[in-house]
Chain A
Amino acid sequence: MIGTAWSAVGWHRLTLMDERPAQALPRWHTQPILGYFVVSMFLPLLTWGLPALAVLPVLALLRALDAPMILTEIAALPAGVMAIWLSLRLSPVQVSRAVQNPVHIAEAFRRTARMSRPLWGVALLGGLFLGALIKSQMLVTPLLTDAEGYYLSDTVMFLDGTFLWATFILFFLVTISIFNTIYRHMAPDTEPAENR
């Protein structure tokens, strides 16, 4: 997780501050990396926790009725999109830690208010993208395992893990780049109150 935060901070600082990495690694900045790490641990409790709480009774009901999996997925989709939208609206909290110009939760929500509608679109596309990545993983794994769920060989197992790793890197890179874009376009702090 610290490695992921270090990598993310390096990318944010490169694109927003034009800070070039060192020879083989991003530059180490203790305060921004630890701040980013802590925020990344706790922010999802809010951004994913609230939509999860909202959808839990529906999922419990569907489970009690022994509903097919597809119905559960359809019911979970709005909550997933809502969670991604909230994550995007509050992403300046994370990015601002990387560039050492802290923005707090309420402030991030206020300063991204004018991007609310396009961010619903990004959240929907993001949800579909995330769903496609998860589905691709779910489709690949059964091809590599036998009837009892064991991998066909060590090499196949290694390749499956590597595929998961590459998928995660792609998701990580696109996500932090979208976060940068939102940070660039959010309203300035000095904006008059009547325009907020």
Chain B
Amino acid sequence: MQADITITAMGVIREALTQIARNRRWLLPIMGVIWLLQLPSFFSAENFIPQDAMELMGLPPGAASLIPAVIVMLSVYIGTA
């Protein structure tokens, strides 16, 4: 690996962006599933899970009821957005 003392700030940024463009077809397998699973962490539990609606449906919050609730809610959001 050769040290490059001629690289500039714009050179570093250009190379980083080129790297993303060159490897774009691998972005989905590297980031897709992992970041989709991390999406709920960007919401508080109260905001992401409609707990009031779950209780109305007789589904008190818990591990078993949260998973189908998330799937249903995502489907609703995707379907109505």
Contact = CB atoms under 8 A, between A and B. Distances in A.
Contact of B15 (A10, A22, A162, A181): A181
B42 A165 contact: yes
Contact of B16 (A22, A155, A178): A178
Contacts of B10: 121
A6 B34 contact: yes
A30 interface: no
Given A25-B34, A161-B48, A173-B31, A118 B7 contact: yes
The binding surface of chain B is classed by DSSP as helix
Interface in B13-57: 13, 15-17, 19-20, 23, 26-27, 29-35, 37-39, 42-43, 47-48, 50
Given A118-B8, A118-B9, A186-B3, A25 B42 contact: no
B3 A114 contact: yes
Interface residues of B, number: 38
A25 B9 contact: no
B80 A177 contact: no
Interface string A152-180: 00110111011011001100011001101
Interface-centre pick from B1, B11, B27 (highest chain A CB count, 10 A): B1
Q: For A155, A162, A174, A177, which residue has the most chain B Cβ atoms within 10 angstroms?
A: A177
Contact of B30 (A7, A124, A174, A182): A7
Contacts of B29: 21-26
A114 B5 contact: yes
A45 B33 CA distance: 30
Given A7-B35, A122-B13, A173-B31, 5 more contacts: A7-B30, A21-B26, A120-B9, A122-B9, A161-B39
28 contacts: A3-B38, A6-B34, A7-B30, A7-B34, A11-B30, A11-B31, A15-B19, A24-B29, A25-B30, A115-B7, A115-B12, A118-B8, A118-B9, A118-B11, A122-B9, A155-B80, A162-B39, A162-B42, A169-B31, A169-B35, A173-B27, A174-B20, A177-B17, A180-B19, A181-B19, A185-B7, A186-B3, A188-B2
